[in-house]
Structure formats: C-alpha cells, structure tokens
Amino acid sequence: MTDLSQYLPILIFLVIALGLSSVIVFLPLGVARLTGTHQPSADKNSEYECGFPAFEDPRSQFDVRFYLVAILFIIFDLEAAFLFPWAVSLKLTGWAGWATMMVFLGELAIGLAYAWKKGALDWE
C-alpha cells in the first residue's frame, strides 16, 4: 500500500501555483472591464504589423530558405554557447578537451561547407 500523504506537499504546491497563475491572468482582465478601459473598436481590433496594415494574407507560406537560414543560425549560435564554457575550462580538460572540441568544430565546418555547396546560404 502506498502512503499518499507524502504527495500532499506537491498537491498544495499545484493548487497554489494554479491559484496564483489564475490571479495573474484574470485580475488585470477584470480590472480593465471594471474601470472602463476595455472599449473595443474597429481600429483596436484590426490587424497591424509594425504600425501599418498588412500587405497580403498573413497565412502565406514562407520560402523554405528562410527556415534553412534560421536552422543554420541556431546551430552556429549554439556552437558559440558551447565554445565559451569550453574556453573557460580548457586548463582542466587539457588536450583531451581540446581534441574533442576540434572534432566538434570540424563537424560543424563540414556541415557549413555542405550547406554552402548546396546553396542554403544563397538568398535571392
């Protein structure tokens, strides 16, 4: 038989978290309705981007090259995030850490060369 009393703190935590999140979400909405700042109009409900109406349908498809460049950016941004802690701890890791990072950078260089050769970085 399992003793369910040890789960009581978790249940109390979940109830408090649900209550606080509900207050944070719904209290400003209620205050806005009670104080009169909630006055929808056609201008407030219209879609806009950067301060002016959209030129075309907002559900249009993006070019796949946009996604390729975004993925490549994320990959090389994460590379920089791995390089900083590695550089700080290089004295502790020694030659093994240096060799491992060179293998990692080599793999990224090969991936960059492949993407460059395939034209993923060309923008028309």
Helical (H) or strand (E) element with 75? helix 64-88
Q: Which of 11-15, 49-53, 81-85 has the highest mean pLDDT?
A: 11-15
pLDDT for the residue numbered 51:
67
pTM above 0.95, yes or no: no
**pLDDT (average), residues 76-83:** 85
Mean pLDDT, the chain, rounded, equals 84
What domains lie within the chain, and their CATH numbers?
A: 1-57 (no CATH), 61-123 (1.20.58.1610)
The residue-averaged pLDDT of 47-67 equals 71
Grouping H, G, I as helix, E, B as strand and the rest as coil, residue 52 is: strand
For residue 99, what pLDDT band results from cuts at 50, 70 and 90? very high
- Tell me which residue of 94, 101, 59 sits closest to 80, measured CA to CA: 101
**Residue 1 pLDDT exceeds 70:** no
